[in-house]
Structure 1
């Protein structure tokens, strides 16, 4: 086996087990300890792993954040299902916060109820909802992030402090047993303020977000009321969600609920 093939196999093993030791590399690939160490050094140089005493681990911090347009297309059908399920939870006359998540955008696309007042920091969501005659849209002011198309800043937070709503529809870049995270501190402060000022918090997260940990911590699991996702979370994650009395809605496999 060539080194490049072995490196790919090591990464595949680590995606399942999250770590690997020098001894495991030697046993799995029938190579010497020196070769195993060289493989670890190579993977670290490529930015895939972090070396530890006697082996390596996968970085726990996910720094890869695709552009808004790329995120819009990723898992698009899944996001549409989640957005449709979120829209079905709304009632006529609800006052809402909607953050700038691409999954929340799908909820806006599938909105069927009426007489809403909606506050958002997403001009994409504001654009979708502006065509609905029975909906009043408040677009928060502030600074526009050109890559990810959200509005943030001191003015955004100042405006948010004047509002109180029934429900918040919020996406997340990462959800673990420790809570929700986001890659951008600036957007994170806006999301935190929305969470403080909503009576019910509904998180929309497809399966790719589970186990991901980003730079900025939004909140612990205790802040969530409802989680809408497309797959059953793995046992430890599901247990943590249930311990916090979070209502889990799963859009696939016959709309299972927990």
Structure 2
């Protein structure tokens, strides 16, 4: 539980975020090539051999790469796509707009679940001035960004740290979640298919589901690409959420279907105008 005195930095501007971007680019490059010499990475990215080895070792520790005798090869694509390294720069502008729109649902005095998603992470720069708040999260990155904020009480959900997503996930984490009751939960997900939500990790599904079950209000943050993807493990349905926030590239057919299910849809736009499309009366 932490109370601080200074405001957090914009996640994408932090040194850690820049490091994530570089490692994500390395992951994409090796994934495209299949395998590469580490010396070639130094030339490609203009970094020292020591930095290249450090980046590769981090990716290896997350299970994303394999390293042998100066050669690095990629793990299965699905694991890379689920990692924070891959997600942090995907649809970054849309994620920022969605996060800004989500702030209308944050009120002083609330206890809030934030999941480990990079979309939810974009809400962090907007938290100063919204306090007092109690922030509850399993994200190691979000914990580090929020810990010094004024008027924020920080509850870190413990358990097993999964390196590939930089988050605490699994049975111990779920046990801690179920002991709490939050006013609102902000959650994102990997894929939306036939109005159902999916993720690559079964442990992540159970952790997000616990947050959903223990919050009075449930808000989903989903950019348009989520409606085009597939993943293995079912998390729930769009109808489990009170509000779904999307970007303006989301096909209107998806918005209409959500309305028909009684879901309030918010469309975040680059013009700073936010369209709130209320659910249809049943």
TM-score (normalised: structure 2): 0.66
Count residues with an aligned counterpart: 197
Q: 2:94 aligns with which of 78, 103, 109?
A: 78
Residues 101 and 274 of structure 2 are in contact (CA less than 8 Å); yes or no, is this contact kept in structure 1? no
Residue equivalent to 1:222: 239
Residue equivalent to 2:104: 88
What secondary structure is seen at the aligned counterpart in 1 of 2:217?
strand
Residue equivalent to 1:148: 165
Residue equivalent to 1:124: 141
What secondary structure is seen at the aligned counterpart in 2 of 1:256?
strand
Deviation of the 1:247 alpha carbon? 1.2
CA distance in 2, matches of 1:221, 1:228: 11
Residues 84 and 111 of structure 1 are in contact (CA less than 8 Å); yes or no, is this contact kept in structure 2? no
CA distance in 2, matches of 1:206, 1:237: 12
CA distance in 2, matches of 1:190, 1:202: 16
Residues 177 and 221 of structure 1 are in contact (CA less than 8 Å); yes or no, is this contact kept in structure 2? no
Deviation of the 1:232 alpha carbon? 5.2
Q: Does 1:255 align with 2:259?
A: no
CA distance in 2, matches of 1:149, 1:117: 21
CA distance in 1, matches of 2:161, 2:225: 26
RMSD: 1.7
Q: Does 1:195 align with 2:209?
A: no
Q: 2:121 aligns with which of 84, 105, 114?
A: 105
Unaligned runs of 5+ in 1: 1-61
Residues 169 and 207 of structure 2 are in contact (CA less than 8 Å); yes or no, is this contact kept in structure 1? yes
Residues 249 and 256 of structure 1 are in contact (CA less than 8 Å); yes or no, is this contact kept in structure 2? yes
Q: Does 1:209 align with 2:226?
A: yes
CA distance in 1, matches of 2:160, 2:101: 31
TM-score (normalised: structure 1): 0.72
Deviation of the 1:82 alpha carbon? 1.1
CA distance in 2, matches of 1:132, 1:226: 27
Deviation of the 1:71 alpha carbon? 1.2
What secondary structure is seen at the aligned counterpart in 2 of 1:83?
helix
Q: Does 1:159 align with 2:159?
A: no
Q: 1:171 aligns with which of 168, 176, 188?
A: 188
Q: 1:238 aligns with which of 251, 255, 259?
A: 255
Unaligned runs of 5+ in 2: 1-76, 278-282
Higher relative contact order (CA 8 A, sep 6+): 2
Q: Which has the greater radius of gyration?
A: 1
Residue equivalent to 2:64: none
Residues 182 and 217 of structure 1 are in contact (CA less than 8 Å); yes or no, is this contact kept in structure 2? yes
